[in-house]
Chains A and B, each alone.
Chain A
Amino acid sequence: MKSPTVELACIIDDDKVYVNLVKKIIETKKLCENLMIFRNGKQSIEYFEALMENMKEDSIPEIIFLDLNMPVMDGWEFLERFTKIKNKFNKVITLYVVSSSINPLDVNRAKSLSSVKDYLIKPINISELENIFCKPTD
């Protein structure tokens, strides 16, 4: 097993059970050093927009796992705002949409966005997760 190359990853999801499980997998498999968790799009976009003002490299995650159905601000609205600021970060941020929606409309819409690397359908499996962390920018 390779040692982790990812310093900081970010999960944006309102499903507490899912978040705890992914956290557990990441800890057990030692996939990354640090993990940030936001419960909806609003909390996270506020974090990223504040980060623009005060650019600290080690506060920028290399990978984002984004859920679509969330209260207050959903994944789509997050993507819209995130796409506007994404290129201003001096770090490559790889974003995966992770949703339990198998609606082809959702899948195609997400995959058509340039800021989305891929669409993962829940449940994600452990080896899939390991692959993502081993070559995040591939």
Chain B
Amino acid sequence: MKAVGKPVYNDDKEVVGVRGVFQDIDDEKLKVITLQKTSDIIASQNSRLFNFAHIVSHNLRSHTSNLTLITQLIDDVETVYEKLELLSSIKDISESLNTTIDHLNEIVTIQTQTSQNKLEVSFSSTLNNVKKSIGGIINESNAQIHGDFSALPAIDYIPAYLESILLNLVTNAIKYKHPDRAPEIRINSYVLDNNHFLEVRDNGSGIDLEKYGNKLFGMYKTFHYNKDAVGIGLFITKNQIESLNGQIFVDSTLHQGTTFKIQF
């Protein structure tokens, strides 16, 4: 509602009333809000694209530069044995190049699949799928997983994404468990101010957010000596969530545990 008015004076210059118009500007307001939302989406897409271009350039460069080095060196080494050794390095490069391309493909797929149909997905059945697919490491680590989805049993989402997000967060919670205790993971969903949330809380070794906070969701960033740490999981998770206009937050205390919170 917008009100515009002017005072009305009598002959003695005294205010005797107000004359004006009340106007319904609901439509305009709604348009501004929609516009702002569109602009936010474009800004976030743009920053993801920029980030992606950077990743492509950096990750591919490291392989091509190794190839360049090899071709230089092949001329310089004398024996056949040494030349064969270099050939086997080319095989290694080709393998890592393939892995990199696979990762990049996975990211591109995320960016283009946002139009994919959302369905009503149940949290508990998604969690069950995740538990089934990583039953081995759950048993091995004696992990306890408690899911409470009573406040929000299901959401409209791309089913494969929700599964991949839960899989990544649960696997991480187990991978980075505290050395002195079995992992305990609490997962719950809820509604706050009309927004849908999912929280995954663990009692693991925690992350030094001051040191690593800004790199946590970066590609190929790993902070542990774990052999199987590749540094792609949280990057993919963040991309999946953001491609559907959600957000992911992290809170962590070293030696106590980590909580990931997703706003859908």
Contacts of A124 in B (CB 8 A): 69
Q: Are B72 and A126 in contact (CB under 8 A)?
A: yes
* Residue B220 interfacial (CB < 8 Å): yes
Q: How far is the CA of A93 from the CA of B58 in the complex (A)?
A: 28
* Residue B104 interfacial (CB < 8 Å): no
Instruction: Point out the residue from B61, B72, B89, B223 that lies within 8 Å of A17, measured CB to CB.
Output: B89
> Given contacts A69-B58, A122-B61, A126-B73, are A21 and B222 in contact (CB under 8 A)?
no
Q: How far is the CA of A28 from the CA of B54 in the complex (A)?
A: 34
> Given contacts A100-B61, A101-B58, are A69 and B220 in contact (CB under 8 A)?
yes
Query: DSSP majority for the A interface?
Result: loop
Q: Are B76 and A126 in contact (CB under 8 A)?
A: yes
- Min CB gap B75→A, angstroms: 9
> Using an 8 Å CB-CB cutoff, how does the interface string of B200-238 with A read, 1 for contact, 0 for none?
000000000001000000001111110001010000000
Contacts of B99 in A (CB 8 A): none
Q: How far is the CA of A17 from the CA of B54 in the complex (A)?
A: 22
Q: How far is the CA of A15 from the CA of B67 in the complex (A)?
A: 13
Contacts of A20 in B (CB 8 A): 89
* Residue B113 interfacial (CB < 8 Å): no
Q: Are A102 and B61 in contact (CB under 8 A)?
A: yes
- Min CB gap B56→A, angstroms: 12
Q: Are A28 and B70 in contact (CB under 8 A)?
A: no
* Residue B96 interfacial (CB < 8 Å): yes
Contacts of B93 in A (CB 8 A): 17
Instruction: Point out the residue from B57, B77, B82 that lies within 8 Å of A102, measured CB to CB.
Output: B57
* Residue A25 interfacial (CB < 8 Å): yes
Contacts of B70 in A (CB 8 A): 21
* Residue B112 interfacial (CB < 8 Å): no
Which residues in chain B, 36-72, are within 8 Å of chain A measured between CB atoms?
54, 57-58, 61-62, 64-66, 68-70, 72
Q: Are A71 and B231 in contact (CB under 8 A)?
A: yes
- Min CB gap A39→B, angstroms: 10
Q: Are B69 and A71 in contact (CB under 8 A)?
A: no
- Min CB gap A9→B, angstroms: 17
* Residue B156 interfacial (CB < 8 Å): no
Q: How far is the CA of A18 from the CA of B66 in the complex (A)?
A: 6
- Min CB gap B260→A, angstroms: 21
- Min CB gap B50→A, angstroms: 11
> Using an 8 Å CB-CB cutoff, how does the interface string of B2-41 with A read, 1 for contact, 0 for none?
0000000000000000000000000000000000000000
Q: Are B69 and A28 in contact (CB under 8 A)?
A: no
Which residue of A15, A29, A103, A123 has the most chain B CB atoms within 10 A of its CB atom? A123
> Given contacts A17-B89, A69-B220, A71-B231, are A122 and B73 in contact (CB under 8 A)?
no
Q: Are B73 and A28 in contact (CB under 8 A)?
A: yes
Other than A18-B66, A72-B223, give 11 A-B pairs with Cβ distance below 8 A: A15-B62, A17-B92, A21-B73, A24-B82, A25-B73, A25-B76, A28-B82, A71-B223, A71-B229, A122-B61, A126-B72
28 residue pairs A–B, Cβ–Cβ below 8 Å: A15-B66, A16-B92, A17-B92, A17-B93, A18-B62, A21-B66, A21-B69, A21-B73, A24-B82, A24-B85, A25-B73, A28-B73, A28-B76, A28-B82, A29-B76, A69-B58, A71-B224, A71-B229, A72-B222, A72-B224, A72-B225, A102-B61, A103-B54, A122-B65, A123-B64, A125-B68, A125-B72, A126-B73
List residues of chain A with CB under 8 Å of any chain B CB.
15-18, 20-22, 24-25, 28-29, 69, 71-72, 77, 100-103, 122-126
The 10 A-B pairs of least Cβ separation, nearest first, read A123-B65, A122-B65, A123-B68, A71-B222, A100-B61, A100-B62, A21-B69, A123-B69, A17-B66, A17-B92
